[in-house]
Chains A and B, each alone.
Chain A
C-alpha cells in the first residue's frame, strides 16, 4: 500500500529564500510528525499534529519555521529566510495513534523518504 510521501525529494535554496516542504501521510493516519536530521545525527523532533491541530511545536528551532496541516491530511513545513544551518534532511512520519490510545500498539511511526534541503 501507499506509504508516506514527501516532495520535493531534493531542494537547493539560496540563503534567504523561503522553502515549502510537503508531506502526504498514510491515508487514515491521525498523527503527523516532522523531524530534522543533520548529517551524522539521529532525527530531531520538530512538531506534531493530531488531525489539523498542532499540539506540539516545541522542537521548531526558530520562528522562521512554520508548519500547517489545515485539513488534517497533507502537511507543509515552511522555512522562511533559509540559513546554511537549515541544511538537513526533513523527515515526515505518520501514525494511527490518538493521544488517548497511546500504549495500545498504534504508536508506530512510519517515515517518508525525506526532503534533503541544501542551503547555499
Chain B
C-alpha cells in the first residue's frame, strides 16, 4: 500500500467552480503535511502547509484530520491558472525517513 494516496483524476472543473480533493496517509507517525503544486514539466512548489486547526490562504483551504489520517484541499472560485497537478505531501521524521513522502498527485483542469 502506498504511504500517501490520492485520486489521480483528472478533475475537469468549469472556471469559477469550487473543487475539493483529499488524500490519505498510512503512517500515523507523520508529523508535517503540505500541498505542493506542480505545473507540467516544472518543479513542485509549496502551495501551503496543513495544520490540525485548518488553514486558509485566499481561495485555498487546507484541512488535516489526524484521527482519520486524511488531508483535504479546497479551491474556491477556480481560475484557469489553477490548472496543475496537486501533490499531497507528508513528512515523517526520524527512523531514517528524512525526506518528504509524496502522493502521485491529482491532476486538475479548469475549463473556460
Binding site for B on A (CB under 8 A): 33, 35, 40-48, 55-56, 58-59, 91, 93, 99, 102-103, 107-114
The reply on B66 being an interface residue by CB < 8 A is no
Q: Which chain B residue has the least Cβ–Cβ distance from A57?
A: B96
- Judged by a CB distance under 8 angstroms, whether B26 is at the interface is no
The contact of B102 among A42, A47, A103, A110, by CB within 8 Å, is: A42
Q: A40-B104, A44-B102, A48-B98 known; 11 other A-B pairs, CB under 8 Å?
A: A33-B98, A45-B98, A46-B99, A55-B98, A59-B99, A99-B93, A103-B31, A107-B91, A111-B43, A113-B42, A113-B43
Residues on A with beta carbons closer than 8 Å to the beta carbon of B99: 33, 35, 45-48, 56, 59
What total of chain B residues lie within 8 Å of the partner, measured CB to CB? 23
Query: How many Å lie between the Cα of A12 and that of B7 in the bound state?
Result: 32
Give the number of A-B contacts (CB < 8 Å).
60
Within 8 A of A (CB), among B2-46: 4, 31-32, 34, 42-46
Q: What are the 8 tightest A-B residue pairs by CB atom distance, in nearest-first order?
A: A45-B99, A42-B102, A111-B43, A48-B98, A56-B98, A42-B104, A43-B102, A58-B96
Across the interface, name the chain A residue whose C-beta is closest to B105. Answer: A42
CA distance A112 to B42 in the complex (A): 9
| Interface of B toward A, CB cutoff 8 Å | 4, 31-32, 34, 42-46, 49, 87, 91, 93, 96-105
Tell me the complex Cα distance, A43–B4, Å.
Answer: 12
Of B93, B99, B101, most buried by chain A (CB within 10 Å of CB) is: B99
15 contacts between A and B (CB under 8 A): A33-B98, A42-B105, A43-B102, A45-B101, A46-B99, A56-B98, A59-B99, A91-B43, A93-B100, A103-B32, A107-B91, A108-B49, A111-B45, A113-B42, A114-B43
User: Would you call B96 and A111 a contact (CB within 8 A)?
Assistant: no
* Chain A residues with CB below 8 A from B87, complex form: 42-43
A29 to chain B, nearest CB (A): 14
Task: Please tell me if the beta carbons of A42 and B103 are within 8 angstroms of each other in the complex.
Answer: yes
- Please pick, from B46, B93, B100, B105, the residue contacting A102 in the complex, using a CB distance under 8 A: B93
